Amino acid sequence: MLSTYQYPKFEYVRPPEIAEGRDGHYPVVIVGAGPVGLCTAIDLARQGRQVLLLDNDDTVSIGSRGVCYAKRTLEVLDRLGCGEEMVHKGVSWNVGRTFFREDEVFNFNLCPEPDHHRPGMINLQQYYLEDYLVQRARKLPNLEMRFKNSVIAVTPGEDEASLRVETPDGAYTLTTDWLVVADGARSPIRTMLGLDIDGKIFMDRFLIADVVMKADFPTERWFWFDPPFHPNQSVLLHRQADNVFRIDFQLGWQADPEQEKKPENVIPRIQAMIGDDREFELEWVSVYTFQCRRMNRFNHGRVLFVGDSAHQVSPFGARGANSGIQDADNLVWKLALVMDGKAPATLLDTYGDERGFAADENIMNSTRSTDFITPKSRTSKTFRNAVLGLAEHHPFARALVNSGRLSVPSFLVGSRLNTADDAVFAGNMVPGAPMDDAPIATADGESWLLQALGDRFQVLHYVADAADLDAASAAALQSLAEGAIPVEPIVVAARGQAPAGLRTLTDAKGRIRERYDLQPGTTYLVRPDQHVTARWRALDPARVRAAVARATCNA
């Protein structure tokens, strides 16, 4: 094989509950060591929580599966401590191209602005992501991982949840204050608890082929409608690490999945696409069906659902793993505050509200993409093809082309945790917005705004020259660090250093000022997950404290 990846085997260790003949109790138990479960566990553990992570397998996912990881996800992974490995190993890209038959009819750029740290997307096989996350998890002493531990029963209670866990050495019982369920789209725990998941299954099938080959395809997303090598259907191509190319072939609903996965049926499709004389090998093949579904509620007392266990979308648009990792990002800071007694349990309702909104947004976009890619009638296909034919020469038609609206973070503008503006601002950094990145100058050269923020409430106060910050404002900023939920004060300035005790971020290129519409005195309050929650044109500590109370359901 041209691919060099060696699937790891994670060691099974006999649980102490079996070895010592007792029940166990953990503050947080997470079920499912896929990307979402691992991110949730790492985030909680690195913030000092004791976490037990259970998985019924003993290796990473087989095959590429989740391929595209969006800029927002990479920024989350940076905070977790493994974004750099991902970007270094993965294939970075910003440009996508759409073809109708043999002609390019549409293209896009995911990151048209300069001065962002991370690309719009990287392509990387899911097994690498999981491998990096497991390596990161092993460095956290308060995070225990148990492989070949399968949850066979869950009993939720008012104050805790009880689990029965099966292992190669027999079964044992655990209790936990909080159970986070990340056990995938088929979610055995969701089924055990008899919880709903509603939505739609689309009548079409796609073949995934991971193909190892040396090819000169550019590092872009290429999507074909009705190409000559696969007529009347669609094809998607992505370059991944290690000379692995991910190719998705539309098959139609009548296709037999087991027959289509056989090499003698897959290989001719690939040869028709790339030419008979190019050497390649099949690494992994699968067939999938589009689904768009979600639970009505993601939080059920002491049981919290994240990722595919809570919601599923069709794969075009890269909205599965990206959305799930953002679930974890949203949940962890809220759960940590509740566990510490600094916020009421009602704060967890806002996890369901905000990520439910994001799920609805993803399902809407995914459904629209699916309807365009796989028309359900002759009339809709005629319309689709007419749009594609016009798009090459007419800008109005390009807006209608939909080969998968790609993952972007949700703007939580309707969240009850936000404090409404009382002044006029330009730009996109409204309350509820995910923060835009920007370069900052450091003594060692250049760093990035988002790498300097996160994991706690922080207030950004702008002055042109930090050395000119008056004593009253400095004292007001420093006072915000006191209280049950401290807020870290940060001065943003074009130059200079703030007085001792205040961190300064130097906006040497002016990108922060530009993207956040900063004027002298402008103050932003940002959440631990790097969403804006309030902003003002002048600093008022009382207003900041009131906004923190609102953002933590303490108001």
Q: State the SS3 of 326-374.
A: HHHHHHHHHHHHHHCCCCCCCHHHHHHHHHHHHHHHHHHHHHHHHHHHC
Q: Is residue 477 a contact partner of residue 493, using CB atoms and an 8 Å limit? A: no
Q: pLDDT class for 203, splitting at 50, 70, 90?
A: confident
Candidates 210, 185, 206, 181; CA nearest to 62 is 210
Any idea which of 42-56, 287-301, 463-477 has the lowest mean pLDDT? 287-301
Candidates 502, 450, 467, 454; CA nearest to 481 is 502
Q: pLDDT class for 369, splitting at 50, 70, 90?
A: confident
Distance CA 486, CA 474 (A): 16
Checking if the pLDDT of 298 tops 70, the result is: yes
Those residues whose C-beta lies under 8 Å from the C-beta of residue 408, and which sit 6 or more positions away, are 70, 72
Q: Is 252 left (phi over 0), alpha (psi -120 to 50) or beta?
A: left
Across 160-175, average pLDDT: 98
Total residues belonging to the chain: 555
Going along the chain from its start, the domains and CATH numbers come out as: 16-91+118-197+292-367 (3.50.50.60), 433-552 (3.40.30.120)
Q: Is 35 helix (H, G, I), strand (E, B) or coil?
A: helix
Q: Specify the residue for token string 């190719």.
A: 247
Strand segments (E) across 56-139? 68-70, 91-93, 95-100, 103-109, 121-123
Q: pLDDT class for 226, splitting at 50, 70, 90?
A: very high
Percent of the chain's residues with pLDDT above 90: 84
Distance CA 192, CA 370 (A): 31
The winner for highest mean pLDDT among 88-92, 377-381, 500-504 is: 88-92
491-515 in b/e burial notation, b at 16+ Cβ within 10 A? bbbbeeebbeebebbbbebebbbbb
pLDDT at 315: 73
Across 424-428, average pLDDT: 97
Across 311-334, average pLDDT: 90
Distance CA 446, CA 117 (A): 10
Query: Tokens in use for 350?
Result: 């806002």
Cα-flanking dihedrals φ and ψ of residue 529, to 5°?
Answer: -95, 20
pLDDT, one tens digit per residue, over 136-145 is: 999 999 999 9
Across 186-207, average pLDDT: 90
- CA distances (Å), origin 513, targets 38, 158, 459, 497, 542: 35, 48, 15, 17, 24
pLDDT at 66: 87
Strands 170-181 and 24-31: parallel
- CA distances (Å), origin 4, targets 7, 132, 150, 212, 242: 10, 16, 30, 10, 7
pLDDT at 483: 86
**DSSP classification of residue 454:** -
Candidates 35, 29, 32, 34; CA nearest to 50 is 29
- CA distances (Å), origin 194, targets 152, 153, 464: 14, 12, 57
pLDDT at 3: 63
pLDDT at 54: 98
Checking if the pLDDT of 1 tops 50, the result is: no
Any idea which of 90-104, 198-212, 325-339, 512-526 has the lowest mean pLDDT? 198-212
pLDDT at 376: 82
pLDDT, one tens digit per residue, over 112-135 is: 789 999 999 999 999 999 999 999
Candidates 361, 362, 381; CA nearest to 373 is 381
More confident residue, 203 or 473: 473
pLDDT at 2: 53
Across 425-440, average pLDDT: 98
Mean pLDDT across the chain, nearest whole number? 94
pLDDT, one tens digit per residue, over 483-542 is: 899 999 999 999 999 998 899 999 989 999 999 999 999 999 999 999 999 999 999 999
Bridge partner list, 185: none
Tally the C-alpha atoms within 13 A of residue 187's C-alpha that lie toward its C-beta.
29
Any idea which of 58-67, 369-378, 470-479 has the lowest mean pLDDT? 369-378
Q: pTM here?
A: 0.96
Cα-flanking dihedrals φ and ψ of residue 126, to 5°?
Answer: -60, -30
| CA 201 to chain CA centroid, nearest Å | 23
The winner for highest mean pLDDT among 188-192, 275-279, 312-316, 441-445 is: 188-192
Q: What is the largest CA-CA distance in the chain?
A: 76
pLDDT at 278: 85
Query: Tokens in use for 225?
Result: 């409608």
Strand segments (E) across 390-526? 439-442, 445-448, 457-465, 487-495, 503-506, 523-526
Distance CA 498, CA 496 (A): 7
